[in-house]
Chain A
Amino acid sequence: NAGVTQTPKFRILKIGQSMTLQCTQDMNHNYMYWYRQDPGMGLKLIYYSVGAGITDKGEVPNGYNVSRSTTEDFPLRLELAAPSQTSVYFCASITGSGANVLTFGAGSRLTVL
């Protein structure tokens, strides 16, 4: 099992550019999440999904969009990148039943210049 796979690992964007961070899980998990991690800070929830076709906003959704067309994939789109979006992004998933543990991807480091 690969678990949660994120691509790309690193990316540099110019202000105003757009891009999509990819996230795929092969564990048949229902629930998927996107977090951002800023230096010295904990993880902040951007968006989450409880199943294919269902998404909802987290704490810090502004400037981002998501979609969930399949159980496996949960891409995060950045529109009109801004320096404030420089961060490390983590995708995670759980089955959604019981007190299950989050499984995280390795992260995507994004720099906006």
Chain B
Amino acid sequence: AQSVAQPEDQVNVAEGNPLTVKCTYSVSGNPYLFWYVQYPNRGLQFLLKYITGDNLVKGSYGFEAEFNKSQTSFHLKKPSALVSDSALYFCAVRDGWGTNAGKSTFGDGTTLTVKP
């Protein structure tokens, strides 16, 4: 079984400040980890992924995420937040082993609000 937890329903930051959106996961095999962003009345859009290699992954719009195997975490970060970053963020995990048919499990989402 695989699962994802996003412990914060909401994160508020001021524009220009760094932001962190937290995610922890559980899988049986190797984790494939993803961050997606959802703007109002839109589908989810891919931000970044970790499969293997460097623990620090860089993605779209200046976002990055750090994979920490010992803490089973994959927190999303950005050094300087923009008002336009305000959206709903989802962490997702997929077990890289076995015939899971590509099925991803999503967290409940974290609403990021960046205030001017």
Asked if B66 lies at the interface with its beta carbon under 8 angstroms from chain A, I say no
Bound Cα distance from A94 to B46, whole angstroms: 12
If A90-B43, A105-B43, A106-B42 touch, whether A45 touches B51 (CB-CB below 8 Å) is: no
B108 touches A42 (CB 8 A): yes
B102 touches A31 (CB 8 A): yes
Digitize A90-103: 1 where CB-to-B-CB distance is under 8 Å, 0 elsewhere: 10101010011111
Pick from B43, B49, B101, B103 the residue with the most CB of A within 10 Å: B43
**Category for how many chain A residues contact B:** 20 to 34
B103 touches A43 (CB 8 A): no
Chain A residues 81 to 113 lying within 8 A of chain B, measured CB to CB, are: 90, 92, 94, 96, 99-107
Digitize A19-39: 1 where CB-to-B-CB distance is under 8 Å, 0 elsewhere: 000000000000101010000
Asked if B44 lies at the interface with its beta carbon under 8 angstroms from chain A, I say yes
B101 touches A107 (CB 8 A): no
Asked if A53 lies at the interface with its beta carbon under 8 angstroms from chain B, I say no
Bound Cα distance from A31 to B32, whole angstroms: 17
Asked if B25 lies at the interface with its beta carbon under 8 angstroms from chain A, I say no
B49 touches A101 (CB 8 A): yes
**13 more CB-based (< 8 A) A-B contacts, given A42-B106, A103-B46, A104-B45:** A40-B109, A41-B109, A42-B107, A42-B108, A42-B109, A43-B106, A50-B102, A58-B103, A99-B49, A99-B94, A102-B36, A104-B43, A106-B43
